[in-house]
Structure 1
Amino acid sequence: MQANAFSRRMLLIGGVQAGFGALLVGRLGYLSISQNKYYQTLAEDNRVQMIIVPPRRGWIVDRHGKPIAINRSDFRVDLVPDQVPEGQLDEVIAKSAQILQLDPDTVERVKQEADAASGYKPVQLAENVDYDKYAAITVRLPELPGVTPQRGFSRFYPAGPAVGHLVGYVGTASREEYLAEDKNPLLLTPGFKIGKEGLEEVLEQDLRGEPGGQRVEVTARGKLVRELEPKPDKSGGTVQLSLHGGLHEYAARRLGLESGACVILDCLTGEILSLASMPAYDPNSFSDGIGRTEWRLMTENERRPLVNKTLNALYPPGSTIKPMVALALQQHGVDPAERINCPGGYQLGNRFFRCLGRHGPVDMNRAIAKSCNTYFYAMGHRIGYDKIAPMAKYLGLGQTFDLPVVSQSYGTVPSPEWKENKFDQRWTAADTLNASIGQGYMILNPIQLAVMAGRIASGRMIQPKLVGIHPQPAPMLDIPEEHLEVARRGMWQVVNGDGTAGASRLPFPDIEMGGKTGTAQVRRLSSGDGRNVPWKYRDHGLFVGFAPVDNPRFAVSVVIEHGMGGSRAAAPVARDVLTYLFDEQMAMERLTAMEEQWGGSLAERTEAFHAQVLAIAEANARGNSA
């Protein structure tokens, strides 16, 4: 009986032991076979550390492959805190700071980042280091453990301020940008910069590329054993623009430090050939960062060097819209040959709306050529502005376009419905008269004016394009050719007849430009042409045009802020930039002579402009500290 009981206990205990052993064997098999890859990866992570190598940024080139934004090699110095022997970090930082001549704020930043760094993450000591300092660090490496001088790449813009507003610049990612990318560690890598403003920002993902990595084997305590085979980075892609780089740079130089814009389009395809806005910042200096005070002063500067005036500045178009109004008038039954007498203005009730002169009897062509307000007052009043506004929008005014830009200001093409919604006021006959000559509530940007000119010139529904080459002509407008020809003929007379821009004819016997000047009032002046008032109160000067007249290919718009007249300030710029397209050497000779009179090249004068702003900032800082 006792033997049977003993045998049962032995069997029970043996069964439990066998079951437990089976569980251990099964668990061991599960860990060694099924979970082998998982734990191998964990072990590898404990043994191998990855140091991110930032990718080289893709180039931006023009339609001919000319570089607009490229990379150039430079020198930088980083510090890997985990490679510094214990207790020597402060000494290494101090020695490096002395050689590199780092300021106290930079030294404090390095110390804070070094204390927070882990996993062989490098900390930036200095970038864009000159060769002498780079060499001095290199020869003293034995006494600077953890310091790694290396050759890197920095962004470079060959045209400098000429492309500032167009391409933007690159800079270190902000905290918000880091969080927006789910704490992408690449954004914290020393030397890595992302696009800020312009094409650099909008095309960031195309230009960024893929990071590489330097794998290093370490001990359990983090000591470096050896460097393993690196993973190469993949450079960002090259982006080709429709831009004509030489023309764009010429337009920017021709504007100089005038506050204004110049847009040139291919009026068959809509490709943007120039998108110049001045004055501008130099993206090469902005990429290194500027102080808050300097930024604030540039923001407050009356010439607005931080604003892309081709897209984000809005102006009353003045008389530049009269060819568009002429198309609307014909669409609603006005005979172009009908004459209106101009006695120097138009009487509406007890108010007299003045004209630019006493033009006598004028038809539609003559009204465009002489910019007769009276004609457009009378005809606009006859058909009503609700018949004109749709034509304005059809020709691109008040519209936004599908462009790779950070923002566009689309402005206003007013209408009775718009005024009712905006101000809760009824549209009046006076509003119609003002809007018919491009004043009142109407405000537009320069690229819209260029699109209008291009559509009238070619008769095609062009859409502005900036990225890529698009040789296919745009579809035709739904406007009768004879209506367009009336507007073109009037624009021809503006430049080549006795119109308002006769002094701005192209310097070629067989190539003619058509156009329309405009003067947009900023505030009512009591008398004179504005020379006796502060710059910011003077009238804007505008011009829209196209060339050649007999076979339109290029459309242009120019705005000179406070230029006191389109014929005086804007039309000569349009003449010169179009001259560049037909005879580059002639245009460059003229520009070189002008720059000598102005006191230096665009880059030199931009540098002087920013130096003046910086001097003001430093003077203010000294005053505040005192």
Structure 2
Amino acid sequence: MRKSEREVVESNRLITRRVLMLGVIQAAVVSALGLKLRSMQVEHADEYRMLSDGNSIKIRLLPPARGLILDRHGTIIAGNEQNYRVTLTREEAGDVSAVIARLRHIIPMTDRQAADILEEIHKRSAITPVLVADRLSWPAFSSIALNAPALPGVTPEAGLSRSYPRGGDFAHVLGYVGPVSDYDLSKIENPDPVLRLPEFQLGKVGMETKLEEALRGKAGSRRVEVNSAGREMRELSRQEGQQGATVQTTLDAGLQNFATQRLGIESAAAVVMDVVNGDILAISSSPVFDPNKFVRGISGPDYRALMEHDHRPLADKTVQGVYPPGSTFKMVTLLAGLESGVINSGSSFYCPGYTTVAGRRFHCWSRGGHGMVDALHSLEHSCDVYYYELAQRVGIDRIAAMARQLGIGVRHDLPMSAIAEGIAPDRAWKRARYDQEWQVGDSLNASIGQGYVLASPLQLAVMTARVATGRAVSPRLVRAIDGQAEQVPEWPALDIHPLHLRTARGGMDAVMNSPRGTARRSRIVAPEWQMAGKTGTSQVRNITAAERARGVISNDQLPWNRRDHALFVCFAPYNAPRYAVSVVVEHGGGGGAVAAPIARDILLYALADGLPPLSAYPEGERAKVREIWSGMKLTPSTRKGEGRARA
């Protein structure tokens, strides 16, 4: 059908309007494109030129600052220090050998070091930065930064490295950190990516490894623009990491330093424990080593010197070392006899200097014997025959059960490495270990802390604390994490009659303060700090009948490694116990002569909260003590928090 003229005019008008609208839209699009092209070609020309040259965006992990470790007063005993270092990433470097050659013009590097770096770079992923040098001086670090355009893939970094400002004082308890090895990574199911950063430091031993998760913190990140030469052009964004937790320990830096100094060059260990709450105030193993050397990379000669030293400075004797406790174990045997009803405090045995069992003589340390001896005097004189007789009546299973109740033969849960369980042997133990039956002679040896019995200095301190308080107090090392205090349990009472504990404590008091006590010379004369203790001497060699007949060779005439171990345990004040101390001196000789004076001095330092007055010592000991003090290089703690009250 043919359209009317009016319809034709209307149709043409609609077409014209649409054409105009399309034209306007096209003009707008062309204008927008023109403006965008102008912006790209004029205003952002440099930016897009860099991108066209191969720039890319990289995500860099930022290692977190490791958490601090403090003593009980807030003194830093493990901290962090500034460390200038340089890393190299193979993907960004191009010709790695050429880059290292240029670096050698700026920082000293031997051919061997350069070869090791090349080997490490090719062993790692192409995108993994590899450490080239650390602990650089500021001039060397700034020279590398200034020459960055000629060093593709090289990144100068200002980071943090672990430091131990108290040197060797806390070496064994804190341990140390070191670079993450392939072996470390193999032990972790899903390793944190931060562990793959060059020279990231991981706890290796001691508290550093046991509290690694808390101390490590959370990694941060930064987005950087890198050009085709591998040079960082700019930082686009940054998210800082989260520092590791601050751990406050129960340790006292001043007391720890004094204990370490007092042990000196002996192969020895000392533990100081608060008998009320279980806090370990000092736990020192000697000789010490400098953990900072391990953080920075210990040299071969230095490491060999530590490994070959006959006093074993790398071993933590406080918790890893186990020793026959000698006569310090006699409180265990005595309490087992009292608790079983086999004896009471007045029960006596005659000591002629030996006991004969199955045709074999078991000798007392006193060749002439002690005559009639009761429970209290058995400790005062440390009469071996008394305990030989008691052991035959009470039996080893009861002695072992008492030992475990007092903390021997028990692994105490502390954040330290390789804590030993010790041995509180009984019939079942020997059958399982040696497939042999227990013998009466085994009981006699065990009754005086010899034979199969083994205990660590930590366990001896726990034993002493439990005898002193009558409670199952256990040791603890962590006081607070990030300000959140660790709760102190209400220690339950031991399943031991208080009267029997008083008998044991009375015997320990007589050891120190009676005219014939085996450690009288090491007593404390200040009445408010009266000390109770027990000596111990454990043999490390067999004494033949022929040697006894002609006279036992004295320790000072024997080679060092054949001398007896010297032990001593004590607590004070006697009427209101606060601290317990154990000391073991390997191959030191007699416990009363060698270990007791050391333990007394450490205990007095704890009681006085610093160097004690000389008036606390017996008059005849004061000149010697003054001389010992003059040879010490004490480093007192810097207290920031509330200290403990004086005893």
Using the size of structure 1 for normalisation, the TM-score is 0.83
Q: 1:622 maps to which residue? A: none
Give 1:293 deviation, angstroms: 6.4
Q: Which of 324, 340, 343 is 1:332 aligned to?
A: 340
Q: What does 1:129-278 correspond to in 2, within 5 Å? A: 129-138=136-145, 140-141=147-148, 143-181=150-188, 182=190, 184-218=192-226, 226-278=234-286
Task: Specify the SS of the correspondent of 1:443.
Answer: coil
Give 1:121 deviation, angstroms: 4.3
Q: What are structure 1's unaligned runs of at least 5 residues? A: 1-45, 603-626
* Cα distance, 1:491–1:135 mapped onto 2, change above 3 Å: same
CA distance in 1: counterparts of 2:446 and 2:582, whole angstroms? 20
CA distance in 1: counterparts of 2:498 and 2:191, whole angstroms? 58
Q: Which of 570, 590, 594 is 1:569 aligned to?
A: 594
Identical aligned residues as a percent = 41
Confirm whether residue 594 of structure 1 aligns to residue 628 of structure 2: yes
Q: Which of 479, 484, 492 is 2:496 aligned to?
A: 479
Q: 2:290 maps to which residue? A: 282
Confirm whether residue 54 of structure 1 aligns to residue 79 of structure 2: no
CA distance in 1: counterparts of 2:282 and 2:517, whole angstroms? 27
CA distance in 1: counterparts of 2:193 and 2:447, whole angstroms? 57
CA distance in 2: counterparts of 1:253 and 1:461, whole angstroms? 31
Confirm whether residue 109 of structure 1 aligns to residue 116 of structure 2: yes
Question: Amino acid of the residue matched to residue 474 of structure 1?
Answer: W
* Cα distance, 1:596–1:219 mapped onto 2, change above 3 Å: same
In the alignment of these two chains, the number of paired residues is 554
Q: Contact conserved, 2:62 with 2:222, CA < 8 A, in 1?
A: yes
Q: What does 1:114-513 correspond to in 2, within 5 Å? A: 114=121, 121-138=128-145, 140-141=147-148, 143-181=150-188, 182=190, 184-218=192-226, 226-291=234-299, 294-295=302-303, 298-333=306-341, 334-357=343-366, 358-468=369-479, 469-497=486-514, 498-506=516-524, 508-513=526-531
CA distance in 2: counterparts of 1:138 and 1:532, whole angstroms? 64
Task: Specify the SS of the correspondent of 1:567.
Answer: helix
1:584-605 alpha-carbon deviations (Å, 9 max, x no partner): 443599988437558x789xxx
Higher deviation after alignment, 334-343 or 108-117: 108-117
Give 1:114 deviation, angstroms: 4.4
Task: Specify the SS of the correspondent of 1:577.
Answer: helix
Q: 2:38 maps to which residue? A: none
1:541-560 alpha-carbon deviations (Å, 9 max, x no partner): 00111111000111111111
1:433-466 alpha-carbon deviations (Å, 9 max, x no partner): 1111111111111111111100000010111111
* Cα distance, 1:419–1:224 mapped onto 2, change above 3 Å: closer
CA distance in 1: counterparts of 2:609 and 2:625, whole angstroms? 10
Higher deviation after alignment, 99-108 or 568-577: 99-108
Give 1:246 deviation, angstroms: 2.0
Q: 1:76 maps to which residue? A: 85
Q: 2:570 maps to which residue? A: 545
CA distance in 1: counterparts of 2:328 and 2:596, whole angstroms? 11
Task: Specify the SS of the correspondent of 1:277.
Answer: strand
CA distance in 2: counterparts of 1:256 and 1:285, whole angstroms? 20
The structure with the largest alpha-carbon Rg is 2
Q: Contact conserved, 1:261 with 1:278, CA < 8 A, in 2?
A: yes
CA distance in 2: counterparts of 1:123 and 1:144, whole angstroms? 14
Q: 2:9 maps to which residue? A: none
CA distance in 2: counterparts of 1:456 and 1:223, whole angstroms? 68
Give 1:270 deviation, angstroms: 1.6
Q: What are structure 2's unaligned runs of at least 5 residues? A: 1-54, 480-485, 615-623, 636-647
CA distance in 1: counterparts of 2:386 and 2:208, whole angstroms? 47
CA distance in 2: counterparts of 1:544 and 1:209, whole angstroms? 40
Using the size of structure 2 for normalisation, the TM-score is 0.80
Give 1:298 deviation, angstroms: 2.9
Task: Specify the SS of the correspondent of 2:237.
Answer: coil
CA distance in 1: counterparts of 2:85 and 2:457, whole angstroms? 42
1:166-196 alpha-carbon deviations (Å, 9 max, x no partner): 1111111111222333454322212311000
